Amino acid sequence: MVNRIPSPEDNDMRLPSFVALAALGFAATATAAQPATLEAGRELFVRTWVAWDERAAEGGDGLGPMYNASSCAACHNQGALGGGGGKERNVRLVRPSSETAFFVDHRLSTLSQRPLSASSGTKVERNTPALFGAGLVDSIDDEVLHTLASTQSGDISGRVPTTAEGKVARFGWKGHTASLADFVRTACANELGLAVEGVRQAQPLQPELMDRLVLMQAAVRQQGKKVDLVGGPKRDLSERDVQALTAFVGALPAPAELTRQPGRSEGHALFGKAGCDGCHVQKVAAVDGIYADLLLHDMGRGLADAGSSYQTRGNDKIVAQADSAGMVAHTLSDGSTVRVPAEPGTPVPAADVEWRTPPLWGVRDSSPYLHDGRAATLDDAIRAHGGEAAMSSTAYTSMTLEEQQKLVGFLESLVAPGA
Ligand code: HEC
Ligand code: HEC
């Protein structure tokens, strides 16, 4: 898999224009968005930003000063525009000390091309997921997830992920973000260092360096001209821009299924036989073919990492685990417990062994796999399943080689849209 940073000439990558997609009836959830809005969102998604970009909407400083890549498409491009990304694009989270929260460790600054990553502290990585069908995931009601969780018991018993504010979360490997609009807004600030309303743009490891970075960046640009930095940099994206970008991501078509692939129905049956569908539920509400319950599951110590949230300094809200009556203890595979509120809506952050079941739609075209991209193949990904999924992965490894290949063959029939 080779990642390419799209240039303005190759904006189309492998997808036809969004107007054409809408005409084909793909944009199931974007019916409210006008073609012009989707086109504006697409332009923002593929746009390669630079420092002091002329496109910066409201006196912003453009890309950075801290950033991870200069466009959304630089990371989200596998299979087609909006897809996943290779391991080299993994986002790193760092926790300098046990007293602080995790935050995004930026590798690039517009003032230095040297890597600026933290040299010490706890570091974890996050692999770039595909965004196909994100609008459909966004449309699933809270109630649907609560009902799904209440029907699971015994070995497989997921819980509804919540944000720090107690909202039901649908996005993120740890299930930490409620809505697509919230994720897109945060991605602008965190990944590209674009100032948007409500979220601070990416911060350097030493927060006191921020003002200096912005000033230096301004000096480079202005070459002696007076720069107004009162109140910090202005916004790079207007609210209208953020909405257009969200509409575009929400209109990305859902992945496709190669239904006529030989041996597919046998592979699908084996997927059920191994209990994969206990978590990778085929249909959630009206969303058919998602293969995920979107709930948090204990996946065992082998997959554990403590990066329990995707936070930036300044927006941190470290949630104390409520310890009042009405809490239910939930024992994890390592013997530790998390206390889960009987009342829905009380925020309990994901434990280190807990991950949100990722949708398997489009999975053939989104390698590498798992939250940090450690699994190069689908077979590796299945074998790494532990915790609540241990029985399921044992069922898989106990199959004959031919059966395993059929099951994997079924997964390989789940492909990126237009593939
Ligand atoms: C440096 C690579 C990188 C760039 C640039 C990037 N992303 Fe992402 N994106 C990721 C990673 C990694 C995740 C998973 C984060 C997590 O779950 O903790 C992600 C997750 C997402 C999600 C949530 C998907 C899900 O199913 O949970 C959305 C939506 C998203 N990105 C949109 C965007 C948009 C819009 C942009 C441009 C403003 C963007 N991303 C730029 C790497 C990137
Ligand atoms: C207890 C719930 C559960 C069961 C049962 C389960 N999975 Fe998963 N699966 C998950 C979770 C959670 C993840 C994400 C783990 C991570 O990233 O660390 C995952 C990840 C995956 C991935 C990687 C997806 C990606 O985008 O990286 C594949 C492939 C997969 N599972 C296939 C299977 C198959 C095949 C089975 C049956 C043999 C199975 N799973 C059983 C919960 C489950």
Provide DSSP, 97-156. Answer: STTSPPEE---EETTB-S----SSSEEEEEPPPP-TTHHHHHTS-HHHHHHHHHH--TT-
Q: Which pLDDT value is given to residue 9?
A: 32
Residue 108: strand pairing partners: 67
Other Cβ atoms less than 10 A from the Cβ of 4: the count is 10
SS3 215: helix
Digit-coded pLDDT (tens) for 351-372: 889 999 999 999 999 999 999 9
Q: Is the pLDDT of residue 2 over 80?
A: no
Q: Which backbone phi and psi does 171 adopt, to 5 degrees?
A: -120, 160
| Ligand number with the minimum distance to the CA of 91 | 1
User: How many whole angstroms separate alpha carbon 247 and alpha carbon 241?
Assistant: 10
Tell me what the mean pLDDT of segment 24-51 comes to.
79
Q: Which pLDDT value is given to residue 224?
A: 47
Digit-coded pLDDT (tens) for 136-182: 999 999 999 999 999 998 899 999 998 877 889 999 999 999 999 99
Tell me what the mean pLDDT of segment 322-334 comes to.
47
Alpha-helical runs (H) found in 193-329: 209-222, 239-250, 264-273
Tell me what the mean pLDDT of segment 292-319 comes to.
69
Structure tokens at 376: 């190069």
Higher pLDDT pick, 120 / 266: 266
Say if pTM beats, i.e. exceeds, 0.75.
yes
Q: How far is the CA of 136 from the centre of ligand 2 (A)?
A: 20
Q: Which pLDDT value is given to residue 26?
A: 43
Q: Which pLDDT value is given to residue 28?
A: 45
Digit-coded pLDDT (tens) for 67-115: 999 999 999 999 999 999 999 999 988 887 776 777 788 878 877 655 5
Digit-coded pLDDT (tens) for 171-216: 999 999 999 999 999 999 999 999 999 887 787 766 666 666 666 6
Q: Is the pLDDT of residue 4 over 70?
A: no
Q: Which residues line ligand 1 (CB under 6 A)?
A: 68-69, 72, 74-76, 89, 91, 126-129, 131, 134, 171-173, 180, 183-184, 187-188, 191-192, 245, 249, 310
Average pLDDT score over the chain: 81
Which stretch of 53-67, 148-162, 290-304, 309-323 has the lowest confidence by average pLDDT? Answer: 309-323
Helix or strand holding residue 382 (H, E): helix 378-383
Q: Which pLDDT value is given to residue 405?
A: 98
Higher pLDDT pick, 14 / 47: 47
Q: Which residues line ligand 2 (CB under 6 A)?
A: 156, 173, 271, 274-276, 278-280, 297, 299, 303, 355, 357-358, 360, 363, 366, 369-371, 378, 381-382, 385, 388-389, 392-393, 396, 411
Q: Which pLDDT value is given to residue 258?
A: 97
Which stretch of 136-150, 212-226, 243-257 has the lowest confidence by average pLDDT? Answer: 212-226
Which residue's CA is the nearest one to ligand 2's atom 41? Answer: 276
Q: How far is the CA of 29 from the centre of ligand 2 (A)?
A: 26
Name the pLDDT band for 217 (thresholds 50, 70, 90).
low
Q: Which pLDDT value is given to residue 53?
A: 87
Q: Which pLDDT value is given to residue 308?
A: 60
| CB contact at 8 A, 71 and 46 | yes
Q: Which pLDDT value is given to residue 108?
A: 83
Report domain extents, the chain: 30-415
